Amino acid sequence: MLSGFFKKLLMAKQLRFIEGDVAIFNSTYLLYPASIHSHLRSLLNEGNSAKSGKLLYTLGFRTSKDFSEDLDKRFKVKGMESVALWRNIVELQGLAKINRISSNPDGSIIVGAISSLAKDDLRKNEKTKVVMDYFIAGFFAGIFTTIYDKEIECVETKCVCTGEAECVFILKPKTSGS
133 part of the interface to Zn ion, by CB under 5 A: yes
User: Cβ 178 to Zn ion, closest distance in Å?
Assistant: 20
Q: Is 166 in the site for Zn ion (CB under 5 A)?
A: no
Q: Which region among 24-32, 57-65, 95-103, 166-174 touches Zn ion (by CB under 5 A)?
A: 166-174
Strand order in the sheet with 109-115: 96-103, 109-115, 167-173, 152-158
Provide the minimum distance between the beta carbon of 29 and Zn ion in the complex, in angstroms, as a whole number.
23
Report if residue 118 touches Zn ion, rule: CB under 5 A.
yes
Which of 110, 104, 162, 132 shows the shortest CA–CA distance to 45?
132
Q: Smallest gap, in angstroms, from Cβ of residue 137 to Zn ion?
A: 8
Residue 133 DSSP one-character state: -
The DSSP H or E segment spanning 17 is strand 15-18
Measured from the CB atom, the residue of 115 and 145 that comes closer to Zn ion is 115
CB atoms < 10 A from the CB of 98, how many?
19
Tell me whether residue 133 or residue 153 sits nearer to Zn ion (CB atom).
133
Choose the binding region for Zn ion from 6-14, 79-87, 155-163, 169-177 (rule: CB under 5 A): 155-163
Residue 11 CB coordination number (10 Å): 9
Residues 6+ away with beta carbon under 8 Å from 32: none
Determine whether 141 is exposed, middle or buried from the number of CB atoms within 10 Å of its CB (0-12, 13-18, 19+).
buried
Residues within window 76-115 making contact with Zn ion, judged by CB under 5 A: 115
Considering only 20-28, 87-95, 145-153, 160-168, which stretch makes contact with Zn ion by CB under 5 A?
A: 160-168
The smaller minimum CB distance to Zn ion, of residues 71 and 95, is found at: 95
Nearer to Zn ion, 70 or 120 (CB): 120
What's the rounded Cα separation, in Å, for the pair 171 and 16?
33
In the bound state with Zn ion, the residue whose beta carbon lies nearer, of 33 and 107, is 33
Q: Which residues bind Zn ion (CB under 5 A)?
A: 115, 118, 133, 159, 167
